[in-house]
Amino acid sequence: MRGANLSPRFWVASTMILLLVLAAVFGPMVVATDPNQVIGGLYDRPSGERLALYLGTDNEGQSVLANLVHGLRTSLLVGLLAGAIATLIGLVLGLVAGFQGGWVDDVISAITNIALSIPTIVVIILLGVALGSRSSVALAVIIGVTAWPWLARAVRAQASSIRVREHIEVARLSGARWVSILGWDVLPYLLSYVVMAFVLQCSGAILAEATLSLLGLGPSGSTSIGTMLYWAQVWGSVRVGALWAFLPPTIVLTLISFSLLLLNSAGDELFNPRLRKGRRRGRGTAGAARGRRAPTPTPVAPETPTPGLAASTAVDLPVSPKGASR
């Protein structure tokens, strides 16, 4: 039923993401040029001579196109890896805290709240500075281990509201171990939320990588969208008007960010039908909106458990990080 309900927004976003992934996977093979190889002079204009020159050359005479596809690959990988790390940490901590309650919850929540109140950018910069030379993997790890707190908090709130539901009680009484309860009875309710959060985490990580690179803390020895922007910026390509050097990474980064956010908002709408139409048809059919409590979309509101959510709408919170890390 839901499958039929996917909005055009979802398809547009998915298509854009698919194209970006395809470019990252096959682009380097098609262009077949080493991004570090000097194939021309300083800021050669784009020419149709050969594929590698379609977007001209950068400040070191390297192919912009080759750099772009390799950089896209690096950026997406960093995003995926960091997003996965952050989602995993946030999910596990949030689940355990929300589901166990008691002192475990207290400890994890305190850590989460402290981590939430220290700006992510600060930790990333410090870690970046401390690690003299940074591989892109190390960068992804840095970004991943700093981005989990908001997710942990959101998951915790939801897990603790699911905990008091009857079917969990049944599972507990039937002697299931808590790990298996978490996996089989709690996690499924959170899945749509976690997937959407993962999308946001990836997008956040890609942007964080770019921010770090622009500050001069990018991956050493490999090209990413961020490092391309860094070089374009440092060598003043904007000022000399070499738009082929700075425009491609700018556009690609915007596209990544836009498509992931669009995907997230389409998913939000899907799992959260009230957002769909604004005022006009907000309430759905007779029974649909009834018996469901208005979720509190605000992170500052007290986290009251919402025991009465209809099972199918377990996850009603809009996915939004408290302070997006950019």
Partner 1 sequence: MQFARYLLRRTLWLLVTFVAAMVLVFLLIRLVPGNPVDAIVAQMTRGGGGSGEQVRAIYDNYMREFGLDLPLWQQFLVFCQNVLQGDFGTSFAQYPAPVTAMIGQALPWSIAIQLPAIVVGWLVGNVVGAVAAFRGGWFDKGAFLTSIFATSVPYYCLAIILLFVVAVRMQILPAGGGYSFGLSPELTLTFFGDAITYFWLPFWSLVIVFIGGQAVGMRSMAIYELGSDYVNYARGLGIGDNRITRYIFRNAMLPQLSGLALSIGGMIGGALITELVFNYPGLGTLLFTAISSNDYPVIQAIVLLITIAVLLANFLVDVVNGLIDPRIRAAETGDR
Partner 2 sequence: MTRLLDARNLRAAYRTQDGRLVRAVDDVSVHVDEGEVLGVAGESGCGKSTLGAILSLNVRSPLQVESGTLDIEGKRQDFGASAKIPRTWRGSVVSLLPQGAMNSISPTMRVRDLCFDVVRAHDRRARRSDALDRVRDRIADLGLPPRVLDAYPHQLSGGMKQRVVTVISTLLNPRLLIADEPTSALDVSSQRALIEMLKEMLEQKIMAGVIFVTHDLPVLRTVSDRIAVMYAGKIVEVADAGDLVDRPRHPYSAALLSSVLVPEPRYRTMRVKGIPGAPPNLLDPPPGCRFHPRCGLAMPQCHTDEPPTDGTELRYSACHWSAQHPGESVPVEAATRDELDGGEPLDRAGEPVALAGDGTGVGR
Q: Choose among partner 2, partner 1, none what residue 308 binds, the Cβ cut-off being 5 to 8 Å by kind.
A: partner 2
Please tell me whether residue 280 binds partner 2 under the rule CB under 8 A.
yes
Q: Choose among partner 2, partner 1, none what residue 239 binds, the Cβ cut-off being 5 to 8 Å by kind.
A: partner 1
Alpha helices in the chain (DSSP H): 8-31, 64-100, 102-117, 120-130, 136-146, 149-163, 166-173, 178-181, 187-212, 225-234, 237-240, 243-271
Please tell me whether residue 302 binds partner 1 under the rule CB under 8 A.
yes
Asked whether the beta carbons of 287 and 94 are under 8 A apart, the reply is: no
Q: Cα separation of 54 and 80, whole Å?
A: 29
Rounded to the nearest whole angstrom, what is the least distance from the CB of residue 164 to partner 2 in the complex? 11
**Which are the contacts of 256, defined by CB distance < 8 A and separation ≥ 6?**
20, 75, 76, 79, 203, 206, 225
Please tell me whether residue 190 binds partner 1 under the rule CB under 8 A.
no
Residues that contact partner 1, how many (by CB under 8 A):
64
Closest CA to 259 of 21, 4, 6: 21
Please identify, using beta-carbon distances, which residue of 33 and 67 lies nearer to partner 1.
Answer: 67
Q: Please, which residues bridge with residue 162 across strands?
A: none
Which of 22, 122, 164, 310 is in the footprint of partner 1 by CB under 8 A? 122
User: Hunting for tokens 């309430």 — which residue is that?
Assistant: 283
Which backbone phi and psi does 63 adopt, to 5 degrees? -70, 125
Q: Which stretch binds partner 1 (CB under 8 A): 14-22, 55-63, 149-157, 239-247?
A: 239-247
Q: Which residues of this chain interact with partner 1, rule CB under 8 A?
A: 113-114, 117-119, 121-123, 125-127, 129-132, 207, 210-211, 214-217, 229, 232-233, 238-239, 241, 243, 246-247, 250-251, 253-254, 257-258, 260-262, 265, 274-275, 277-280, 282-283, 289, 294-295, 297-304, 318, 320, 323, 326
